[in-house]
Chain A
């Protein structure tokens, strides 16, 4: 864009991690030839570049890869296509003007730039909950960091965050870092988890904690942090069923580092300030099954929409987002006016349903809408049911469900249309989980 006419891209993708890479590839393959990826880091690949452990790609590739390997496969696919990429470029705002999206990007080399695109895909990932969000009491010494920040220091920069570690949170990032730091010669004293059960995958309990004899203290949290300039220790305590610390159960643990693995929050500052409506439960944009937000031509995918457990799901969802963004740019999506809109909501035993809306365009009877959701409890032998108002659409049997594992169900458009009947009844689709009798 040096001089002359300003180029209007077909699709601009904010974020060059696995979500953005997949979206750019499918946008390009759908026919949109002017595609650009805007990535704020120095190279493409996103968070996977610091996830040096293996476990990625088992569904998508049928093979287990480390994070960098999985990411680089998609970077290679981007390079094979004529897709423009700009690294060291951070998207800071989005506006719409005369039917075109204007993206403001801060670039390390050229300063503030404006990029115009017909369609935009937000693949901005998520960030970690911090100590401030948890309001842990105590002094503010060095040595308190989120597990992902520690992962960046260890795996990319080559620094240990400390030597005697306590980890709060048994989600996968916490478990993975427990192992990683032990392998790098640290003493990981314990992992504390406020819930009565571990939040991460069962396999990580084995390969990260048990195999290294790292104790896991359930129903336990950190109530105080001690130390002047550097962490000297933490006070842990048992909690009751309301996660409130139980007086008298406090215990001092000597350590020099506290890692927090206590939740991920989708990154949506830019898109929400540009008018994209967010879901209070997922903290991500409200989307339809094509990953389209409430703003015409703005799509979202990956952890920015809802926090995923496996990157394979991110890839599948992002391929859909990119394909539809490409079709939108080429004006190939059906007329908005003739769409049948069905809101999707969480029923009994379910939360974090995505998409929050199924839009049935004309001539899409043969398609299936993929809905993901999470169970609110740990349950065995369950049936997942999808209803349109009181009419059963479909059901699925599952051996076990738990909140830490994203589930999905596919509903054929045809099934929804049949239930809606000739009168094309409106109604809400609900997804619920019940124990099988």
Chain B
């Protein structure tokens, strides 16, 4: 069974073909680097994404802080994770690297601030 996909690892967007063999091994064609092969295999077995979002800030110089997941979350859980993010608020000051949400929805990934928001 062949699956065609665009690699999202870098802006090149190589067109990949992944084929699951009888032994269960997945062969990948079209990648121009090893990360593309890893991506294709993951997309067929356990697709994940880095979640980037904003978290509400209380008493800060700005109302939001930009954040991202350290570690990825399952691709099809992104929307559900966002409904959790929307219920959170953090109090200023917020520093780059602060863990805002720990282990979001049991994914093992934390949502972490990528910028500072002072009081």
Is the Cβ of A203 less than 8 Å from the Cβ of B78? Answer: no
Please give the residue numbers on chain B whose beta carbons come within 8 Å of chain A beta carbons, in ascending order.
Answer: 5-11, 13, 15, 49-50, 52-54, 56, 62-64, 66-68, 75, 78-79, 82-83, 86, 96, 114-115
Is the Cβ of B8 less than 8 Å from the Cβ of A207? Answer: yes
Contacts of A69 in B (CB 8 A): 96, 114-115
Could you pull out 22 A-B pairs where Cβ atoms are within 8 angstroms? A49-B66, A52-B53, A52-B68, A53-B52, A55-B11, A64-B10, A66-B114, A156-B64, A157-B63, A158-B54, A183-B78, A183-B82, A184-B86, A185-B82, A185-B83, A201-B13, A203-B6, A203-B9, A203-B13, A206-B5, A206-B8, A212-B79
CA distance A158 to B63 in the complex (A): 7
Q: What are the 4 A-B residue pairs with the smallest beta carbon separation, nearest first?
A: A202-B13, A203-B8, A52-B66, A68-B115
Interface 1/0 per residue, A36-57 and B, CB below 8 Å = 0000000000000100111100
Contacts of A390 in B (CB 8 A): none
Chain B: minimal CB distance from A17 (Å): 15
Interface 1/0 per residue, A134-164 and B, CB below 8 Å = 0000000000000000000011111000000
A58 at the interface (CB under 8 A from B): yes
| Contacts beyond the supplied A52-B53, A183-B82, A203-B9: 14 A-B pairs with Cβ under 8 Å | A52-B114, A54-B50, A64-B10, A66-B68, A68-B115, A156-B62, A158-B63, A183-B78, A183-B79, A185-B83, A202-B15, A203-B7, A203-B8, A310-B11
Q: Which chain B residue lies CB-closest to A202?
A: B13
A88 at the interface (CB under 8 A from B): no
Is the Cβ of B56 less than 8 Å from the Cβ of A158? Answer: yes
Q: Which chain A residue lies CB-closest to B116?
A: A72
CA distance A185 to B8 in the complex (A): 23
Interface residues on A, range: 20 to 34
* Given known contacts A72-B115, A183-B78, A211-B75, A155 and B54 CB-to-CB distance under 8 angstroms: yes
Is the Cβ of A72 less than 8 Å from the Cβ of B83? Answer: no
A182 at the interface (CB under 8 A from B): yes
Which of A58, A158, A201, A310 contacts B64 (CB under 8 A)? A158
Is the Cβ of A72 less than 8 Å from the Cβ of B13? Answer: no
Contacts of B64 in A (CB 8 A): 155-158
Contacts of B8 in A (CB 8 A): 203, 206-207
Q: Which chain A residue lies CB-closest to B9?
A: A203
Is the Cβ of A52 less than 8 Å from the Cβ of B96? Answer: no
Chain B: minimal CB distance from A264 (Å): 17
Contacts of B52 in A (CB 8 A): 52-54, 66
Contacts of B86 in A (CB 8 A): 184-185
* Given known contacts A158-B54, A183-B82, A205-B6, A72 and B96 CB-to-CB distance under 8 angstroms: yes
Kindly identify, within residues 336 to 381 of chain A, every residue whose CB is under 8 Å from any CB belonging to chain B: none
Interface 1/0 per residue, A69-80 and B, CB below 8 Å = 100100000000
Contacts of A310 in B (CB 8 A): 11
CA distance A72 to B56 in the complex (A): 20
* Given known contacts A157-B63, A158-B63, A184-B82, A201 and B54 CB-to-CB distance under 8 angstroms: no
Contacts of B68 in A (CB 8 A): 52, 54, 66
Chain B: minimal CB distance from A356 (Å): 26
Which of B6, B67, B115 contacts A206 (CB under 8 A)? B6
Contacts of A54 in B (CB 8 A): 50, 52, 68
Contacts of B13 in A (CB 8 A): 201-203, 206
Contacts of A49 in B (CB 8 A): 66, 115
Which of A53, A154, A201, A211 contacts B11 (CB under 8 A)? A201
